[in-house]
A = this chain, B = another copy of it.
């Protein structure tokens, strides 16, 4: 039998002791639990970044993993903590919408349980660190086989934080940057499917900057050239070959990106 696996995604960084405290709590309850770091570099309190991250990463995981997410600006408020089953993934999250983008392509309704059963929490629960005091011990108990129904009561409402779809604008599409990756690549809310039947060539406008080259890979133009391509997440991505598009194009999450018919020069 495979030992249970708990993944961790936080905005804690690792210079602070918070992630380690969670690891200790998990191992104290389930010494066999395998702990896998996904990220501790989610920008502080950036729920949208976390939402994109989870939607892009979790689909690749096997069903049996338990994913704990602690990006939680609302810690200590009345915001709920949730156990989620969606798309055959299991998550423990604050109720701030970080998981709903992941659920977007699900055909079935998610199971959402509001954590209320304190028997599976640390005692006492602090006001400022529910990751350590609630989510970590609950994950450990789940990894030991606890039935999720014992965690609390089914919820029928939750915070929903979807990425807006792009909009049609004349012959073109208008969307926006939804994620800037480690390389400065700009990932948008425009999917490959949205552009599928548009006649080529296409012109891309990022903020005020025009990108006239569509490629298949990062190497389809010379160093320093701006290029549009389909990212590994299936979305329109604007990159600078061997460079940093966010920096060069002064773009960031929310920057408007439009796709329109390009000029035919021949």
| Residues of A near any B CB (own CB < 8 A) | 2, 5, 7, 9, 11-25, 27-28, 31-32, 35-45, 49, 52-54, 56-62, 64-65, 73-77, 126-129, 132-133, 181-183, 216-220, 229-233, 237, 242, 244
Contact of A14 among B20, B40, B64 (CB under 8 A): B40
Q: How far is the CB of A55 from chain B (nearest CB, A)?
A: 8
A216: chain B residues within 8 A (beta carbon): 76, 127
CA distance A110 to B128 in the complex (A): 31
Q: A182-B15, A182-B16, A229-B127 are in contact. Are A23 and B42 (CB under 8 A)?
A: no
Contact of A219 among B13, B76, B129, B218 (CB under 8 A): B76
Are A218 and B24 touching (Cβ within 8 A)?
A: no
The secondary-structure label for the interface of chain A is loop
- Give the top 5 A-B pairs by smallest Cβ distance, nearest first: A76-B217, A24-B60, A13-B182, A129-B232, A20-B57
Are B232 and A58 touching (Cβ within 8 A)?
A: no
Q: How far is the CB of A213 from chain B (nearest CB, A)?
A: 15
Q: How far is the CB of A23 from chain B (nearest CB, A)?
A: 6
Contact of A128 among B13, B126, B229 (CB under 8 A): B229
CA distance A44 to B27 in the complex (A): 28
A17: chain B residues within 8 A (beta carbon): 38-39, 52-54, 56-57, 233
Q: A44-B183, A61-B24, A128-B229 are in contact. Are A32 and B2 (CB under 8 A)?
A: yes
Are A41 and B60 touching (Cβ within 8 A)?
A: no
Are A76 and B15 touching (Cβ within 8 A)?
A: no
Q: A73-B242, A219-B76 are in contact. Are A16 and B181 (CB under 8 A)?
A: yes
* Residue in B closest to A241 when the chains form the complex, CB atoms: B73
A57: chain B residues within 8 A (beta carbon): 17, 20-21, 24
CA distance A73 to B240 in the complex (A): 12
